[in-house]
Amino acid sequence: MIKAFIFDLDGVITDTAHLHFKAWKWLASEKFGIVIDENMHEQLKGLSRMDSLEKILAIHHLNQKYTVKEKVELTTTKNLYYRKLISDITPRDILPGIVELLEEIKGSSYKLALASASKNAIAILKSLDLFQSFDFIADAAIVKKGKPAPDIYLLAAKGLSVAPENCIGIEDAVSGIQSIKHAHMFAVGVGDKRLLHEADYVVSKTEALTLPNMMQAWNNSLV
């Protein structure tokens, strides 16, 4: 029986995924002279700040060139750039249908948690006026292994006191869907069906993400 919904943030609740990419694109060109493309955008989605940097450095086998301290400085520089991009975010930046969906979930007595890899998640939720909507927000800073590991989704389920098999996770990233599946939850993808083929159910955009659709898909998965 489904008792809870666990949401990713960037690219599901608000369209910040492309802003992360814009900031990485800037850093890669500015600091390493690397041009990163759309394909890399998909691969970076969902990854922690440091895992994203390592992936970019790996393009030209530069991972060993920088010390841990230098890498931390590079991620901080990216984050400062990213913070500027999200400085004027408001509730108008919530993706279509999400406010109604969160209200419907809460109104139907399901529990609601956030499982974002972003250390900016709380600040963004506050800017979107959604901070109070969640029963639990999993803290990316205390999670040992980032997505695609299950840790953040398991932490969210634990925070809600709900067993993972009673949760539905919602994600826009391949690594995020893998994280949900590794946590043994029902995975809903938002985006391209071919990319998110490991999900149990995929919608192309947030407008199509409704409670009845998700419950129907979950019911169908039982037969």
Q: Taking the complex as a whole, how short is the minimal distance between the CB of residue 144 and Mg ion, in angstroms?
A: 20
Active site (annotated) includes residue 151: no
* Cβ pair 135, 160 in contact under 8 A: yes
Active site (annotated) includes residue 135: no
| Amino acid of residue 108 | S
Q: How far apart are CA 50 and CA 9, in angstroms?
A: 18
* Cβ pair 209, 203 in contact under 8 A: yes
Nearest to 133 by CA among 96, 164, 104: 104
> Interacting stretch for Mg ion, rule CB under 5 A, among 11-19, 72-80, 89-97, 196-204?
11-19
Q: Taking the complex as a whole, how short is the minimal distance between the CB of residue 79 and ligand BG6, in angstroms?
A: 5
* Cβ pair 158, 120 in contact under 8 A: no
Q: Taking the complex as a whole, how short is the minimal distance between the CB of residue 151 and Mg ion, in angstroms?
A: 16
Q: Taking the complex as a whole, how short is the minimal distance between the CB of residue 45 and Mg ion, in angstroms?
A: 5
Q: Does 42 bind Mg ion (CB under 5 A)?
A: no
* CA 19-26-95 angle, 5° bins: 5
Instruction: Compare residues 60 and 83 and give the one whose CB is closer to ligand BG6.
Output: 83
Binding site partner of 94, from ligand BG6, Mg ion, none, Cβ cut-off 5-8 A by kind:
none
Tokens representing 196 are 């998110």
Q: Which of 4, 5, 6, 8 binds Mg ion (CB under 5 A)?
A: 8
Tokens representing 38 are 């759309």
Tokens representing 98 are 């999400």
Instruction: Compare residues 127 and 211 and give the one whose CB is closer to ligand BG6.
Output: 127
Site residues, ligand BG6 (CB under 6 A):
9-10, 17, 20, 44-49, 52, 79, 116-120, 173
Binding site partner of 116, from Mg ion, ligand BG6, none, Cβ cut-off 5-8 A by kind:
ligand BG6
144-203 binders of Mg ion (CB under 5 A): 172-173
Task: Point out which residues pair with 202 in neighbouring strands.
Answer: 189
* Residues noted as catalytic: 8, 10
